[in-house]
Amino acid sequence: METIKTDVAIIGAGGAGLRAAIALAEADPKIRIALISKVYPMRSHTCAAEGGAAGVIKADDSFEQHFHDTVGGGDWLCDQDAVEYFIHEAPKELTQLEHWGCPWNREPDGSVAVRPFGGMKIQRTWFAADKSGFHILHTLFQTSLQYPNIQRFDEYYATDLMVDDGRCQGFTAIEMKTGQMRRFQAGAVVIAGGGAGRIFPFNTNGAIKTGDGMALAYRAGAPLKDMEFVQYHPTGLPNTGTLLTEACRAEGGVLLNKDGYRFLQDYGMGPETPLGKPELKTMELGPRDRVSQSIWHEIQKGRAAKTPWGDCVWLDMRHLGEKTINERLPFVRDICISYLGIDPVAEMVPIRPVAHYMMGGIHTDINAATSVPGLFAAGECACVSINGANRLGSNSLVEILVFGHRAGLSALDYARGQKPGNDAALSTQGEAAQAKLRALFTRNIGKESISGLRKEMTDTMGEGAGIYRTQEGLTETCDKLADLRRRYADVALHDKTNVYNTDLLSALELGSMLDCAEAVAVSGLERKESRGAHQRLDFTARDDSKYLKHSMAYYHPTEPPRIDYRDVVITTSPPGVRDYSGAKK
Ligand SMILES: Cc1cc2nc3c(=O)[nH]c(=O)nc-3n(C[C@H](O)[C@H](O)[C@H](O)COP(=O)(O)OP(=O)(O)OC[C@H]3O[C@@H](n4cnc5c(N)ncnc54)[C@H](O)[C@@H]3O)c2cc1C
């Protein structure tokens, strides 16, 4: 097997992976960096982000306020030392992007424009129309091209980490064009593999978000933290799940039930505000968990509109006018017309909540180090944790920059002190990874199909681990997932060829998803309280006495994960009440 020896290897070339690579290359022009991605970098999910990225920049804002919005928004499950670091680094990273060429929208005086965002009680979301992620990823990608020591391996799929002598020393990956496996040997590895929203049937996530990065680390012994916290975004298109960014509401769009009533005022997010003037603390700019849960209740109460795509509420943007929509939300207009045949300038748009983002992920410390020496993680696949039980919109695009940067520098520090690995031991691990793949090719086709198992997995996740959960539903989902994991051992490939074998990739991605799904469901079953995005109909209150803790899921090859807990870091903000009522204090 061909071996590629490098100093630091990065899995994932989305926002977090590219930012890590640039940090490394800037810090040391001699260091060798291998950047691996299963798709071309510009096809990473970061490209799909619409609304914007949060960072304190205006005179009326403060670090303290960004800190409190984030910690309260996260229902006090954030590690507050990490949040402090994050909010201070955020404007530096966004300004750096500006210097690299990111076309942020402007105020009339030429300064950077910001827009409101859900749960942010002061305007601080930088944006580039409603294509912020596209511009951020382009900026990072073109910047990365300046550095000859970043060597890219596009369309390589990482399959297994190699851990020897108590530290991570690389991984195996398939070159998809040829089907050949390669061994990447490195002094340190950064995982920036993105989220796992595809474990749910109805989601906003790109097809590649199958939790591979999380599964790689998990199987190598790193625990997955806070996996039960899955964010539902309130405004997904009801047919495809395509996201309509929160910026629709930030620009003044409102949510109505079937009677044309702005129902959010009934769910602790009043009082009603004048049309077209979003009030920063209330109504449509409440945090995502609360808004999604309110829509769920409206649907249960029979106050949703009946549409060809099921029960929905309305997103009404008509009063914004064509000029504002074209300037600020051109992509949203495009999406509504293309996928629903509805023009938001003239008509209301039906929407319903959709699985969007994983707050949980690979446990890391504030330096992006996992518990496996030599292994670092950043971006949506990691849980550092700044998002706690509910991420605020526009914090993630900044998290990938701040902690991507941090992960790069931490990996560099680590790699510098390491002796070369033991080639023979790593070669044995490479052979073992290859043998697992061969088994997929040689196994006879039985009754289990990849798509069949996948459908059963997403169905059970939607039924048992959705917006509202119960002991019974979660238990059923956990049992089903355990069964699916057993049956997964029998899947075989129809396509036995080597060139771009998507059948093989689907099989491997399904394995990653099953591991992530099980961590979500089992962690959810164990958390007998309601906090942020984890809502239990049988334990409706937040219980700080027992659960002001991070859950930690540990992998087992044949059993469900073992769940342990870890203290939350509280520095200055003791747990309090989340208030979005707009009441004056
Ligand atoms: C539709 C949408 C809109 C969003 N809008 C916003 C927003 O406005 N503001 C905000 O803050 N957040 C937003 N988010 C969230 C945010 O965009 C993501 O959390 C963030 O971009 C994730 O970046 P990442 O670098 O961690 O992962 P990604 O950009 O998903 O990149 C993952 C990388 O890992 C690679 N990879 C994965 N597995 C493997 C493997 N096995 N081998 C090799 N490579 C692998 C992929 O090829 C890819 O390059 C949005 C998300 C979605 C889905």
Instruction: Give the DSSP per-residue string, 191-249.
Output: E-----GGGSSSB---TT-S-HHHHHHHHTTPPEESTT-EEEEEEE-TTT--B--THHH
Q: Is 378 helix (H, G, I), strand (E, B) or coil?
A: coil
For ligand 1, the distance from its centroid to the CA atom of residue 45, given in whole angstroms, is 4
Q: How far apart are CA 197 and CA 216, in angstroms?
A: 16
Catalytic residues, which ones? 233, 249
- 383 and 234 in contact (C-beta within 8 Å)? no
Q: Please tell me the residue having the least CA distance from ligand 1 atom 51.
A: 49
Q: How far apart are CA 540 and CA 535, in angstroms?
A: 7
Lookup: tokens for 482 = 């355990």
Q: How far apart are CA 282 and CA 157, in angstroms?
A: 44
**C-alpha torsion sign, points 532, 583, 292, 130:** negative
352-357-358-362 Cα dihedral, nearest 10 degrees:
170
For ligand 1, the distance from its centroid to the CA atom of residue 14, given in whole angstroms, is 6
Lookup: tokens for 254 = 């409102």
Ligand 1 atom showing the smallest separation from residue 378 Cα: 26
- Residue written as tokens 């039985």? 446
Helices (H), 56-154: 63-73, 80-100, 132-144
Q: Please choose from 140, 159, 288, 396 the residue to mutate so as to test ligand 1's pocket, defined by most ligand atoms within 8 A of CB.
A: 396
Q: State the burial class of residue 440 (Cβ atoms within 10 Å of its Cβ: 0-12, 13-18, 19+).
A: middle
Find all residues with CB under 8 Å of 373, minimum gap 6, and list them.
Answer: 166, 167, 168, 414
Phi, psi of 78 (to 5 degrees): -75, 150
For ligand 1, the distance from its centroid to the CA atom of residue 41, given in whole angstroms, is 10
CA-based nearest residue to 522, from 486, 469, 455: 469
Terminal CA-CA length for the chain:
66
Ligand 1 atom showing the smallest separation from residue 391 Cα: 11
Ligand 1 atom showing the smallest separation from residue 394 Cα: 11
Q: Please choose from 199, 354, 380, 504 the residue to mutate so as to test ligand 1's pocket, defined by most ligand atoms within 8 A of CB.
A: 380
Q: How far apart are CA 248 and CA 242, in angstroms?
A: 14
Q: Please tell me the residue having the least CA distance from ligand 1 atom 14.
A: 49
Q: Please choose from 40, 45, 288 the residue to mutate so as to test ligand 1's pocket, defined by most ligand atoms within 8 A of CB.
A: 45
For ligand 1, the distance from its centroid to the CA atom of residue 18, given in whole angstroms, is 11
Which CA distances in Å does 398 have to 38, 113, 404? 23, 16, 9
How does 466-497 read in b/e, with b if 16+ C-beta sit within 10 Å?
bbbbeeebbeebbebbbebbebbeebbbeeee
Q: Is 459 helix (H, G, I), strand (E, B) or coil?
A: helix
How high is the pLDDT of residue 583? 65
For ligand 1, the distance from its centroid to the CA atom of residue 195, given in whole angstroms, is 6
Q: List pocket residues of ligand 1, CB cut-off 6 Å.
A: 11-17, 36-39, 41, 44-46, 48-53, 132-133, 156-158, 192-195, 204-205, 208-209, 212-213, 243, 245, 357, 379-381, 393-397, 400
For β-strands 224-225 and 361-363, DSSP reports them as: antiparallel
Ligand 1 atom showing the smallest separation from residue 137 Cα: 29
How high is the pLDDT of residue 272? 81
Q: Please tell me the residue having the least CA distance from ligand 1 atom 27.
A: 194
Which CA distances in Å does 417 have to 14, 76, 420, 461? 27, 37, 10, 43
How high is the pLDDT of residue 291? 95
pLDDT in tens, the chain (585 residues): 999 999 999 999 999 999 999 999 999 999 999 999 999 999 999 999 999 999 999 999 999 999 999 999 999 999 999 999 999 999 999 999 999 999 999 999 999 999 999 899 999 999 999 999 999 999 999 999 999 999 999 999 999 999 999 999 999 999 999 999 999 999 999 999 999 999 999 999 999 999 999 999 999 999 999 999 999 999 999 999 999 999 999 999 999 999 999 999 999 887 887 787 667 767 898 899 999 999 999 999 999 999 999 999 999 999 999 999 999 999 999 999 999 999 999 999 999 999 999 999 999 999 999 999 999 999 999 999 999 999 999 999 999 999 999 999 999 999 998 999 999 999 999 999 999 999 999 998 888 999 999 999 999 999 999 999 999 999 999 999 999 999 999 999 999 999 999 999 999 999 999 999 999 999 999 999 999 999 999 999 999 999 999 999 999 999 999 999 999 999 999 999 998 887 654
Q: How far apart are CA 100 and CA 52, in angstroms?
A: 17
Q: Please choose from 44, 329, 390, 504 the residue to mutate so as to test ligand 1's pocket, defined by most ligand atoms within 8 A of CB.
A: 44
Domains of the chain plus CATH, in order, are: 2-106+119-231+357-421 (3.50.50.60), 234-355 (3.90.700.10), 426-567 (1.20.58.100)
Task: Find how far residue 413's CA is from the centre of its chain.
Answer: 27
Ligand 1 atom showing the smallest separation from residue 209 Cα: 30
CA-based nearest residue to 76, from 550, 477, 584, 580: 550
How high is the pLDDT of residue 585? 46
For β-strands 349-358 and 305-307, DSSP reports them as: unpaired
For ligand 1, the distance from its centroid to the CA atom of residue 68, given in whole angstroms, is 25
